[in-house]
Amino acid sequence: MTLEHVAIWTSQLEALKEYYIKYFGAVPNDKYTNEKKQFQSYFLSFQSGARLEIMSRPDIPENKNDTVQAQYLGIIHLAFGVNTLQEVDAKAKQLQEDGFPILSGPRKTGDGYYEFETLDPDNNRLEVTCVYHE
């Protein structure tokens, strides 16, 4: 069994689509629009086969969770895997230079990963990670 996709509501559909294309190599499908429900979405496909659905509808309220200072029950982050420590470092540098915060790392974790945490344009928490061996 595979995890088919994860979905995220957004108020800035095009900006979020462009972020995941630019920084994570996402390939979008054609935009789906349901005029009656004022719903729009994209499926973003990644090299691994994983997909992210980003969705927009004007009546969806803002999320009250604070993904920067506090964490709450439920899904808290998406993790993107790369092959080397150098790729983790390069992605952290690229995102930071483009104005996205680095919340922690890059660092080695106690469970065998090298990673950093950041936020996408909607403040969804992301990790970029690779397995490391000492």
Handedness of CA 106, 22, 125, 118 (dihedral sign): positive
pLDDT tens, 77-114?
A: 999 999 999 999 999 999 999 999 999 999 999 999 99
- The class (CATH top level) of 77-131 is alpha beta
Q: Do domains 6-56 and 77-131 have the same CATH topology?
A: yes
Residues 96, 104 contacting (CB under 8 angstroms): no
Tokens 């439920």, residue located: 74
130: pLDDT strictly greater than 80:
yes
d(CA 24, CA 79): 11
Measure CA of the first residue to CA of the last residue in the chain; give whole Å.
32
Give domain limits for the chain. Answer: 6-56, 77-131
Question: What's the pTM?
Answer: 0.92
Residue type at position 57: R
pLDDT tens, 37-54?
A: 999 999 999 999 999 999
Helix 13-24 × helix 85-97 angle, to 10°: 140
d(CA 26, CA 19): 9
d(CA 44, CA 52): 5
- CATH architecture, domain defined by 6-56: Roll (3.10)
